[in-house]
Amino acid sequence: SKVISYIDVMTNFSDLSQKRNYSRPELSNETIINVSRGRHPVVEDSLKKDGIEFTPNDSLLTKKDNIWLMTGPNMAGKSTFLRQTALLVILNQIGCYVPAEIAKIGIFDKIFTRIGASDNLSLGMSTFMMEMVETSRILDQATNSSLVILDELGRGTASEDGLAIAYSVLEYICTKIKCITLFATHYKELCKMKEKYKQIKNKTLQIKKWEEEVIFHYKIIDGISEGSFGIHVANLAGINKKIIARAKDILINLNNKKSVEIQENNF
């Protein structure tokens, strides 16, 4: 039964890899994730059903350049890329080909993720408390052979608190754990850390602004995002146009260091 189950799994890997154009990864003893035109296997398959091509991305993380600090607009593809990287590592280690043109991937002892929002009200744990508990476990258990993925750490509290926690956690990873890390954030202030910690690479998602629209290219590039474009996403979600217009006015006032109440609005 063990032999049959092994053949069953390997045959499925083979069939899947052939049908979806996966490639054989190069196993490495180095601490490395070197991927050319990598794809998210689940999202790619979902898009194909609608006749849409998935946009592939490259990645190169090594022992020396081990941290990508990713800023970018909402809905631009940060979270997809984070999950994609973890899935490629898992597929590599379970013996399957990977959705990429070329891949050279090292062996990781564990993958740690802090993604999304959840709570445990029965234990009296808020969303932010759960976020901190999960982050604590990551920092206690990760080694320099781990892969750590942190998505918007510190968002569940005041901006000052959240930024301070995110800065301190990233600094700890830089100086103590030293593992390959993908750290996505809307705190652009963190990007200044690259000046002190050379292993950090600032990455963002390519966009194009046309009139009042934002066009997402889903392509990862070097640099820092010029904004989160949250109001644009709220508009895409169908929030009332009057509310969107008011939000834009408030944002202008805030950017000009004025009070929110300066231009009162009765909708």
Q: What pLDDT is attached to residue 213?
A: 76
41-49 and 78-93 helices cross at what angle (nearest 10)?
Answer: 120
Which residues lie across from 215 on neighbouring strands?
A: 208
**Phi, psi angles (nearest 5°) of residue 220:** -85, 130
Please answer whether residues 37 and 121 qualify as being in contact, where contact means their C-beta atoms are separated by less than 8 angstroms.
no
Tens digit of pLDDT for each residue in 227-258? 777 888 888 889 998 898 888 888 888 777 75
Query: pLDDT band at 17, cuts 50/70/90?
Result: very high
Q: What pLDDT is attached to residue 184?
A: 93
Q: What pLDDT is attached to residue 267?
A: 61
Instruction: Give the count of beta carbons closer than 10 Å to the beta carbon of residue 204.
Output: 22
**Is residue 260 over pLDDT 60?**
no
Query: pLDDT band at 147, cuts 50/70/90?
Result: very high
User: Residue 151 has which token pair?
Assistant: 């998505």
Mean pLDDT of the chain: 89
Please answer whether residues 154 and 166 qualify as being in contact, where contact means their C-beta atoms are separated by less than 8 angstroms.
yes
Give residue 151's identity as a one-letter amino acid code: D
Tens digit of pLDDT for each residue in 96-121? 999 999 999 999 999 999 887 665 66
Q: Taking residues 126-133, report their average pLDDT.
A: 86
Query: pLDDT band at 86, cuts 50/70/90?
Result: very high
Half-sphere exposure of 198 (CA within 13 A, CB side): 2
Q: What pLDDT is attached to residue 236?
A: 83
**Phi, psi angles (nearest 5°) of residue 81:** -65, -40
**Is residue 52 over pLDDT 80?**
yes
The DSSP string of 133-184 is HHHHHHHHH--TT-EEEEESTTTTS-HHHHHHHHHHHHHHIIIII--EEEEE
**Is residue 259 over pLDDT 60?**
no
